[in-house]
Amino acid sequence: MKLNRIINDPDLVVEDAIEGYVAAHPELFAKTDHERVLKYPAIPQKGKVGIVTGGGSGHEPAFLGYVGKNMVDAVAIGEIFSSPTAGAFLDAMKASDGGAGVACLYGNYAGDNMNVKMAVKKAAAAGITVKTVVANDDVASAPITEREKRRGVAGEILMWKVGGAAAAAGYDLDGVIAAAQKAIDNCRSIGVGLSSCIIPAVGHPNFNIDNGMMEVGIGHHGEPGINVVPLQPAKEMAHTMLEPILKEGIFEAGSEVVVLVSGLGATPTMELYIYYAEVDRILKEKGVKVHRSYVGNYFTSLEMMGVTLSMMKLDDELKKLVDAPVHSLGMVQG
Amino acid sequence: MKLNRIINDPDLVVEDAIEGYVAAHPELFAKTDHERVLKYPAIPQKGKVGIVTGGGSGHEPAFLGYVGKNMVDAVAIGEIFSSPTAGAFLDAMKASDGGAGVACLYGNYAGDNMNVKMAVKKAAAAGITVKTVVANDDVASAPITEREKRRGVAGEILMWKVGGAAAAAGYDLDGVIAAAQKAIDNCRSIGVGLSSCIIPAVGHPNFNIDNGMMEVGIGHHGEPGINVVPLQPAKEMAHTMLEPILKEGIFEAGSEVVVLVSGLGATPTMELYIYYAEVDRILKEKGVKVHRSYVGNYFTSLEMMGVTLSMMKLDDELKKLVDAPVHSLGMVQG
């Protein structure tokens, strides 16, 4: 199996895509001296905490699609499904530093952890204070007792939204970090994979899901899930995915939540809404109130079929920050 | 080949998806007495021209994703790849009539033409003046000498944007119709298909594209294109698609244009940007100025792989209307 793709050179897909992003949206993206770092043109903004993230490519609109007004200031861009370099993270930190320090809000993967850690050290040596929040919202990747092992998935978007809004509202670095940490602490996610994807430079499927089967708890790069089961109707799939999330015990009756349903790339939008309808129904039955919902391709894995469900419990502060205006490719709110 | 899908019943995908849209976005969608008609909650608006569209499902976010503020007021929703009924079009017209008449802006397909025509007659009998614009932006579907045979494709989005902004700006019915007609007269589109899709209730691919091949000029429902050729690199594909568009003679050096690149559903976003970079480069060489660009899944065909390119030439009026604020699922501008 080899996919028909719209590319030039499979080894240059990231470079070529970056050219397209910058050409299409000059109001959102400015190049920097580092070819794998893009920044929001209006930054650094003096006195504002800088917001940095980064990660592997292939998850578009994540990560670079969340660069924008009141969200991420600069992004370090990795190869497909690979961490950006420490140098890219460092240059993103430098690009976004307006003198008030930088919050690096990223996902819990070995490569990212290592490279961010190195970049934070080098930034400190250059006089820039960087503090970090590591997203670990994927309930399927480890038990709650080992939360530090859990992967960061689409809940990262809500962390960026909250952190970005806090920085825009004038929070200091510790305040931004606390808000972003609270966002991810109150967030839980899980994914279901229905088909694999093919990394262009590799040319064969990353993994395999048989016809008629689905993998519950699959990661954004095809990391193994909890189990592989026969494909369920949307209604049952919603139950299967909500169960481990609700078991965490943070979403009680009366809670107000944000729900984010993301396709993994190739699942038609209408299926995401069919799925959302079931999630919404179950949450209503449980007395959990959906304050705001996002449904679409927010965090993908090339052309995988499947869906991820993320939920964040709100308090007054998180609600205000989630509701704040934002302008990025992946998320626009007036 | 059978796809792993996120659905309940293949015969109820449209009903189930509508439930999801309404549940997820109550600020954008209100139900009406007709189960296949959704409307923007704040309409009818007294004295404003109503904007109606409709079409088959499976093209999400089109058509219902363009219901919103300053865009489409009410939408008639068909089965997958099938026209809505005349009754649905009629009820959408009734729902959006604020006394200033209704502009029905839709795509050139036999079923839609027939059903809209019937609905317009019945609306007139009910005292509602409805005028129509039929989108026919697809250059691959007939020669310019038979423009009335050309299909409407993603250029419809720009027609809705312009018509919706005109209505919001207080244009009367003839003014809205003239603006929407000007938008589509200045718009040209073409698509390339890289793989087929599967209608859930049918269960087998709609058509076939061999591995390593691409179909130039394919329609949104797999209608045959101009020819099937070996898959081209993005750079060459941009040339192949721009050539018939530029040959129409309306995009000269010095023109200002809107470019809309839409994926057909399963093509990863990064490939759309790789493609856009090439289009942008060629237009720069030709001296055509891109005023605004849209890149993403704006008008899809379930999980087809491929891309469509739409270009609209701007004058001062179209530029103002395109730049106006809009809030819908498919398009948000501040």
The tens digit of pLDDT for each residue in A209-224 reads: 998 999 999 999 999 9
Note the pLDDT of residue B334.
86
- Has A221 been annotated as catalytic? yes
Q: What is the CA radius of gyration of chain B?
A: 19
Residues making up chain A, counted from first to last: 334
Catalytic residue among A25, A34, A204, A221: A221
> Average pLDDT for residues A156-163, to the nearest whole number?
98
- The most distant pair of C-alpha atoms in chain A lies apart, rounded to whole Å, by 55
Distance CA B278, CA A160 (A): 31
CB proximity under 8 Å: B 5-64 to A: 5-9, 13-14, 16-21, 23-25, 57-58, 60-61
CB within 8 Å: B8 and A274? yes
Contacts of range A29-35, beta carbons closer than 8 Å, 24 or more positions apart: A29/A64, A29/A67, A32/A74, A32/A91, A32/A92, A32/A95, A33/A91, A34/A87, A34/A88, A34/A91, A34/A92
CB atoms A237 and B16 under 8 Å: no
Q: For B55-79, how does the pLDDT look when each residue is reduced to its tens digit (9 = 90+)?
A: 999 999 999 999 999 999 999 999 9
For range A89-93, the mean pLDDT? 98
Contact B132, B116 (CB under 8 A): yes
**What distance in Å separates the CA atoms of residue B60 and residue A332, rounded to the nearest whole number?**
18
Tokens matching residue B256: 């200002």
What one-character DSSP code corresponds to residue B146?
A: G
Fold of domain A187-322 = Hypothetical Protein Tm841; Chain: A;domain 3 (3.30.1180)
Cα separation, B19 vs A280, whole angstroms: 10
Structure token pair of residue A176: 């931004």
Query: A-chain residues within 8 Å CB-CB of B296?
Result: 329
Architecture, CATH, for domain A10-186: 3-Layer(aba) Sandwich (3.40)
Structure token pair of residue A209: 């899901």
- What is the C-alpha to C-alpha distance for residues B297 and B62, in angstroms, rounded to an integer? 10
| A153 and A220 Cβ atoms separated by less than 8 Å | yes
- Among A121, A131, A102, CA closest to A39: A102
Task: Determine the pLDDT at residue B164.
Answer: 98
> Nearest residue of B to residue A197 by CA position?
B268
* Segment A170-177 long-range contacts (CB within 8 Å, at least 24 positions apart): A170/A48, A171/A49, A172/A49, A172/A100, A172/A101, A173/A49, A173/A100, A173/A101, A173/A102, A173/A103, A173/A129, A173/A131, A174/A131, A176/A49, A176/A51, A176/A103, A177/A103, A177/A131, A177/A132, A177/A133
Question: Which pLDDT score, from 0 to 100, does residue B206 have?
Answer: 86
Nearest to B270 among A58, A209, A234 (CB): A58
* Strands of the A74-80 sheet, one edge to the other: A30-31, A37-39, A74-80, A50-57, A102-107, A130-135
* Domain range annotation of chain A: 10-186, 187-322
Contact between B23 and A271 using a beta-carbon 8 Å cutoff: no
Best B63, B209, B273, B333 member to test A by mutation, with max A CBs in 10 Å, is B273
> What pLDDT score does B37 carry?
98
Residues 275-314 of chain A whose Cβ lies under 8 A from any Cβ of chain B: 275-278, 280-281, 293, 295-297, 300, 302-303, 305-307
pLDDT of residue B165: 98
Measured between CB atoms, which of A9, A194, A274 is closest to B17? A274
Q: How confident is the model at residue A295 (pLDDT cuts 50, 70, 90)?
A: very high
Residue range B303-316, pLDDT digits in tens: 999 999 999 999 99
User: With an 8 Å Cβ cutoff, is B267 touching chain A?
Assistant: yes
**Both structure tokens of A283:** 């949450």
A 151-180 residues with CB < 8 A to B: none
Residue of chain A whose Cα is closest to the Cα of B304: A266
State residue B173's pLDDT score: 98
Residue B107, pLDDT > 70, answer yes
Query: CA–CA separation, B301 vs B310, rounded Å?
Result: 16
Average predicted confidence (pLDDT) for chain A: 97
Asked if residue A2 has pLDDT above 70, the reply is: no
Average pLDDT over every residue of B182-186: 98
**B27 contacts A283 by C-beta, under 8 angstroms:** no
Check whether A206 has a pLDDT greater than 90.
Answer: no
